[in-house]
Amino acid sequence: MGEIDCARCAGAACTTEDIETTPQLCPRRVTAGAIAEAEEIRSADAEVKRWAEVAADVEQTGYRKWPRVQELIEFCQRLDIEKIGIAFCVGLREETQALVKILESHGFSVETVVCTVNGGCNPVGQALALNELQTQLNVIMGLCIGHDILFQQFSEAPVTTLVVKDRVTCHNPIGPIINRYWRGTLVKD
Ligand code: SF4
């Protein structure tokens, strides 16, 4: 068990003023300094505030109406993002082409870089190429686990993931988590 555990809390005390009523494993108790610092950042950093407001607006406006790809478009439009980078897996080239067509039809300038740039799995190369082109937001299309992490580490622009690669589930990694037959095979006794 970890030191904080929101996952197994009902969340009823999330916004209470009385901190004593929160569970013992509440991050508001255990990591109180971090939570206070986050509040300062949220109120003092205009860019963070703007991105958070836009995220909330997209969520509310498109709630249960917009698929994620449309949310991406709406989000970028509201933030005046014009140049989008896509770091894609060579196995999703066709899907990436379809995404580029969609994004370009909405007026975005799109830079794409494949995972095998320069001959092999090269997430650092993908990030540095997009850094050099000064993309404003980078989108991951199906990078392998680990490669996606490295890409995010080296990307200067903020990163969002549109497609999480999962070769077994048609890129739907929540499948084995919510399906009890699969889940049963994954929980270690
Ligand atoms: S922040 Fe505290 S009250 Fe809210 S879900 Fe986490 S543990 Fe529960």
For the chain, list the domains and their CATH numbers: 6-44 (no CATH), 45-80 (no CATH), 82-189 (3.40.50.2300)
Give exposure, 133-167, as e/b (b: 16+ Cβ within 10 Å). Answer: eebbbbbbbbbeeebbebbbebbebebbbbbbbee
What number does the ligand 1 atom closest to the CA of 14 have?
4
| 20 CA from centroid of ligand 1 (Å) | 12
- Does this model's pTM top 0.75? My answer is yes
pLDDT range class, residue 122, cuts 50, 70, 90: very high
Residue 65 scores a pLDDT above 90: yes
pLDDT band for position 1 (50/70/90)?
confident
- Say which range, 10-19, 76-85, 95-104, 170-179, has the weakest mean pLDDT: 10-19
Rounded CA separation 39/148 (Å): 29
Query: Does residue 134 register a pLDDT over 90?
Result: yes
Kindly tell me the sign of the dihedral angle through the C-alpha atoms of 182, 183, 187, 189.
Answer: negative
pLDDT, tens digit (0-9, with 9 covering 90-100), for 11-63: 999 989 898 899 999 999 999 999 999 999 999 999 999 999 999 999 999 99
Indicate the burial class of 174 (C-beta count within 10 angstroms; 0-12, 13-18, 19 or more).
exposed
**pLDDT number for residue 126:** 98
Q: Does residue 119 have a pLDDT over 90?
A: yes
- State which of 1, 4, 9, 39 you would mutate to test the pocket of ligand 1, scoring each by most atoms of that ligand within 8 A of its C-beta: 9
Residue ID of nearest Cα to ligand 1 atom 6: 6
* Better-scored residue on pLDDT, 17 or 80: 80
- Give residue 189's pLDDT: 86
DSSP 174: T
